[in-house]
Homo-oligomer: A and B are copies of this chain.
Amino acid sequence: MEGVDYLADERNKAEFDVDEMKIVWAGSRHSFDVSDRISKLVANDPGFSKEGRTMLPRKELFKNTLKKAAYAWKRIIDHRLSEEEATQLRRWVDEPALQIFIGYQPLGMFIPAIKGQGTDKQQKKWLPLAHKMQIIGCYAQTELGHGSNVQGLETTATFDPQTDEFVIHSPTLTSSKWWPGGLGKVSTHAVVYARLITDGKDYGINGFIVQLRSLEDHKPLPGITVGDIGMKFGNGAYNTMDNGVLRFDHVRIPRDQMLMRVSQVTKEGKYVQSDIPRQLLYGTMVYVRQTIVADASIAMSRAVCIATRYSAVRRQFGSQNGGKETQVIDYKTQQNRLFPLLASAYAFRFVGEWLKWLYTDVTQRLQANDFSTLPEAHACTAGLKSLTTTATALCGGHGYLCSSGLPELFAVYVPACTYEGDNVVLQLQVARFLMKTVSQLGSGKKPVGTIAYMGRIEHLMQCHSDVKQAKDWLKPSAILEAFEARAARMSVACAQNLIKFDNPEEGFAELAADLVEAAVAHCQLIVVSKFIEKLQQNIPGKGIKQQLEVLCGIYSLFLLHKHHGDFLGTGYITSKQASLANEQLRALYSQLRPNAISLVDAFNYTDHYLDSILGRYDGNVYPKLYEAAWKDPLNESDVADGFHDYIRPIIKQQVRTARL
């Protein structure tokens, strides 16, 4: 029965206006309109079909992606899409590789690198070429032997004043550039990070624009060895992308292809540091990480949308007198896995929105030479990137999510835990910032922004939760103080343990695991507090605010339960209060239940985008699963290829051994 909505009953139960929630999720009516229009345009365009993608062998898969990228580019031109619309198109086409070929999303950092580190002249020359796709660029930083530690890179860029050129060279095997997306087969240029050597001295890492391939026939230029690093995990996923390997054998580039905004080399080979502070470079990182947090909320919401819809379709156990079995979503255990993820999707969305504001704010301050908020903004984006990507990746680690549509999503997503900084390394940066803040308490320096609560340290070290009954946990002030007290006490405890070490660095290494936990506590506080701030805004629309309050409560109380050891251990709550929180959490699950399907509908994802039979909007799962099975190449014939060679001889064997 085509056209029937098997989830209609679920949708009728909703206690809020879904259309209004779509606007809240999108950020504004304008964003919703653009996003809605473009997502439908993409879904209805057969050129963007995802059909059969997981069955293609690598070479075909890659070619198919190139075709789609060329098609997308054509659509952007033909429809005369604005930059905002083009960004939406890339997003909805939903090919990770497209972000590189035709855009400058997180993975495509060629343009941001030039914007952030190039001089005005360099920007003027290179950006239009990249924007118009007359060149295709990638970001070649990581090496075979070197990941997160940029300072450890081995590639060299040695200045030769005789020819006014840099000589780019890979001195060792481990210095081979390794992993950059778009490098293997597509890019004509790269921003290459290398040790700047001039006058016989090593000045550390700098970026250089290097042409890799001919603009005529696409062949690698002399001295360049470039290729794909091979199969990655997943059936489609990142195998549509040409993550690459790159070696240089004394490749020469003109001096003006060194990115010179922060430091320069003169034609005499003198190294000059400009008066622009190096911290400026952090601005780019804040930008990139902010987009990664936004992506985490997208990946999380996508997974949750599929899992929630399927949990409403799927029935199991509990049938009485031969009636229908119970919907899986009605089990408290399922709610306990699903609803906190649903709440996290909203929580990450709102903290992502706030980070966008933070980036604008930091940028304006930087332009006015105000660097005061940079360390805090840097720590905060690092921590939130780590927190949100870890939570999202782990949500895919659960067996129950490993069904149609989801595995692909996570194969694409998991690398987010590593790119742009390994998550543990990032949390250690946050911890370092926290320890510095604690050590400066009482020095008169007032902590600002997300760390402002440390200014009330005396109160936070002594206070106790005044929760007396379950519903007291609904008060934002009760939640906020609990998360503040926990974060503050964990930081202070770490700081006190650090003092016991003669060598602070040794102590930092020894206590690293505890420091990471303190950093996580701090980051969770940020997410909780930004969610609460969101609720304090004027939110129109029938029932919207109530739903967001429920989600905020679930997000906070789930974390409180999951980490109740921290809250108990620091003495802020009693074990009775912990039980009350858990009781309230269960009550919130019941409140959420009738709205669950509509809350995932509010993400406004098309079936094309979800690309999951389990997550179909209409809930018509089983017939479509059954139908899809027969499309597998193995089903082309009733009898398997190989039957005559490998199966028949065994079942027809005449030889018997005595022992078996």
Q: Which residues of A contact B (CB under 8 A)?
A: 54-59, 62-63, 66-67, 69-70, 73, 76-77, 80-83, 86, 131-136, 144-149, 151-152, 173-174, 176, 184-186, 188, 215, 217-220, 227-231, 233-235, 242, 245, 315-317, 319, 325, 331-334, 336, 389-390, 393-394, 396-400, 402, 407-408, 411, 414-418, 422-425, 428, 509-514, 516, 563-571, 575, 578, 582, 586, 622-623, 625-626, 628-636, 638-643, 645-651, 653, 655-660
Contacts and interface: CB of A to CB of B under 8 A. Distances in A.
Contact of A55 (B58, B389, B390): B58
A81 B659 contact: yes
Contact of A145 (B217, B315, B642): B315
Contacts of A623: 173
A333 B390 CA distance: 15
A177 to B, nearest CB: 11
Contact of A397 (B227, B398, B631): B398
B67 A333 contact: no
Nearest to A635: B227
Contacts of A399: 389-390, 393, 414-418, 423
A57 B582 contact: no
A76 B634 CA distance: 28
Contacts of A646: 63, 66-67, 69-70
A653 B148 contact: no
B651 A188 contact: yes
Given A512-B333, A564-B569, A653-B133, A316 B152 contact: yes
Given A55-B231, A80-B657, A399-B417, A67 B642 contact: yes
A73 B650 contact: yes
A398 B398 CA distance: 11
Contact of A235 (B235, B400, B636): B235
A588 to B, nearest CB: 13
22 contacts: A58-B633, A59-B641, A62-B642, A66-B645, A67-B646, A69-B646, A132-B656, A134-B651, A136-B651, A148-B317, A151-B317, A218-B648, A229-B629, A230-B631, A230-B632, A231-B632, A336-B512, A389-B399, A400-B417, A514-B582, A568-B568, A570-B575
A239 to B, nearest CB: 8
Contacts of A73: 650
A180 to B, nearest CB: 13
A67 B317 CA distance: 41
Contacts of A400: 417-418, 422
Nearest to A57: B57
B62 A245 contact: no
Contacts of A633: 57-59
Contact of A152 (B57, B151, B317): B317
Contact of A231 (B54, B148, B217): B54
Q: Which 5 A-B pairs have the closest CB atoms?
A: A397-B397, A399-B417, A565-B565, A233-B407, A564-B565
A148 B316 contact: yes
Contact of A565 (B220, B231, B317, B568): B568
A218 B652 CA distance: 12
A650 B98 CA distance: 14
Contacts of A629: 227-230, 245
A333 to B, nearest CB: 5
B428 A415 contact: no
A315 B80 CA distance: 49
B135 A651 contact: yes
A35 B21 CA distance: 60
A402 B424 contact: no
A400 B325 CA distance: 40
Nearest to A336: B513
Contact of A131 (B70, B80, B643, B660): B660
A630 B233 contact: no
Nearest to A52: B231
B227 A659 contact: no
B393 A397 contact: yes
Nearest to A76: B660
A186 B63 CA distance: 33
Contacts of A651: 133-136, 188, 215
A428 B333 CA distance: 10
A484 to B, nearest CB: 19
A63 B245 CA distance: 32
B70 A218 contact: no
A136 B394 CA distance: 38
A234 B233 contact: yes
Given A66-B646, A218-B640, A570-B575, 17 more contacts: A57-B633, A58-B634, A59-B633, A67-B646, A70-B647, A77-B655, A80-B658, A83-B659, A144-B626, A176-B626, A228-B629, A230-B631, A331-B512, A333-B512, A399-B415, A399-B416, A565-B568
